[in-house]
Amino acid sequence: MSGHASFEPTNKIVKWFEDRLPVLGLAHASFVAFPTPRNLNYWWTFGGILFFFLLVQIITGIILAMHYVPHEALAFDSTEHILRDVNYGWLLRYLHSNGASMFFLAVYIHIFRGLYYGSFKGPREILWIIGVVIYVLMMAAGFLGYVLPWGQMSFWAATVITNLFSAFPIVGEPIVQWLWGGFSVGQPTLNRFFSFHYLVPLLLYVFVILHVWALHVVGNNNPTGVSVKKDQDTLPFHPYYTIKDSYAIVAFLLIYFWFVFFNPNQLGHPDNYIPADALVTPPHIVPEWYFLPFYAILRAVPDKLGGVLLMFGALAVLAVLPWLDRSKARSLTYRPLMKGFFWIFAVDAVLLGWLGSQPAEGIFVTLSRLATAYYFAHFLIILPLVSKFEVPRPRPASIMDAVLEKSGDADEAKS
């Protein structure tokens, strides 16, 4: 879809350079002339918002790393030192810790947008799968980063999560010791987690480039799900969507800044302001909010290995989604029955999140089991069956028709 044709430099030096390495032409084709469906709504601005937050995390992270010390005797104090002594250190740290939450909030909206409008369906399967890889890398980065302040939650989260691997027979124990670099979470663990916390976002960056590349090969989906006719249905990305994305980023910043400046510790756990202590286990070990649905799935199963497999299965099922939904219609706008199930699934996901924050006992365990069963039933039973039998409502012939029909100009739409 993207060609370089429309970029013709007038400046001689630029032209000389372009003839040898056409990067400006590539950037122009990708971010200026890129034909974008004219009916994209605000749910399509979250890719841009995510890109913005990736940059925020990398920039604030690099500066934090200049002051942070990955040593078990100094890590906690160096984090306090950043908050109290480093110029604008409090700002850097709160931008970074709340930035992680905003990044996940945005990615969840981005994923649910994809689920609703069928953006995972052909020809966007690879784009979607790269997205799932990005999501897994984001989780790895979030987990590794949370360990670094070396508070009680950091230490015990690291202990619980690394210990999960011990559930695998034979190889389990050696893997855990290899992850720890010893026989318990300690100095070697902290050091390697710091190293990987720096590395993973750079990998993330590589996958984001692949993601956007794949997007530019197949083009955007749109709210109707109908394939675009290039000339009548699209607009150049700039200025139409650069403006819309910028507006959305600023609106999203308001939520971000509300946390950073008014409630910077709202999303964290108070126990993480207690230095790590291997001899005192906190009463409830709770991960960050964005891991809670998976934590609920993990604890829903009485068997440790079963829980671990189910938790990874909950991610893996997302990767095969393009082959589970066989409906010809992409957008749920034209699939009333599946739309209903989509909203039940959304409620189920939120319920799992809430259950993940509760103690694993009594009614919470029962509810977690039901919600976990529904999570898998949604993807493995409901989606394939409904997509096979539901007859979608008539779809517009083109997105131009859909836009004009909505604005009441139906006659023009038909002509």
Which positions touch ligand HEM (CB under 6 A)? 44, 46-48, 50-51, 54, 107, 110-111, 114, 117, 119-120, 124, 127-128, 131-132, 134-135, 208, 211-212, 215, 220-221
| Residue nearer to ligand HEM on the CB measure, 132 or 301 | 132
d(CA 35, CA 27): 13
Question: Residue 121: how many CB atoms within 10 A of its CB?
Answer: 23
Closest distance to ligand HEM from the beta carbon of 201 (Å): 9
| Residue nearer to ligand HEM on the CB measure, 119 or 358 | 119
Classify burial at 125, counting beta carbons within 10 Å of its beta carbon; exposed 0-12, middle 13-18, buried 19 or more: middle
Closest distance to ligand HEM from the beta carbon of 394 (Å): 21
Residue 157 — φ and ψ, nearest 5°?
-65, -45
Closest distance to ligand HEM from the beta carbon of 68 (Å): 23
Closest distance to ligand HEM from the beta carbon of 43 (Å): 7
| Residue nearer to ligand HEM on the CB measure, 74 or 380 | 380
Closest distance to ligand HEM from the beta carbon of 34 (Å): 10
For residues 226 and 396, the answer to whether their CB atoms sit within 8 Å is yes
Residue 31 — φ and ψ, nearest 5°?
-120, 0
Q: Which residues contact 403 (CB under 8 A, 6 or more apart)?
A: 38, 39
In the 8-state DSSP scheme, what is residue 275?
B
d(CA 251, CA 42): 11
Closest distance to ligand HEM from the beta carbon of 137 (Å): 8
The sign of the dihedral angle between the CA atoms of 66, 142, 207, 254 is negative
| Residue nearer to ligand HEM on the CB measure, 156 or 256 | 256
Identify the H or E element spanning 37: strand 35-37
| Residue nearer to ligand HEM on the CB measure, 50 or 286 | 50
Closest distance to ligand HEM from the beta carbon of 9 (Å): 26
Closest distance to ligand HEM from the beta carbon of 190 (Å): 26
| Residue nearer to ligand HEM on the CB measure, 57 or 358 | 57
| Residue nearer to ligand HEM on the CB measure, 158 or 292 | 292
Q: Which residues contact 271 (CB under 8 A, 6 or more apart)?
A: 151, 152, 153, 282
* Separation of first and last alpha carbons in the chain: 28
Classify burial at 80, counting beta carbons within 10 Å of its beta carbon; exposed 0-12, middle 13-18, buried 19 or more: middle
| Residue nearer to ligand HEM on the CB measure, 25 or 322 | 322
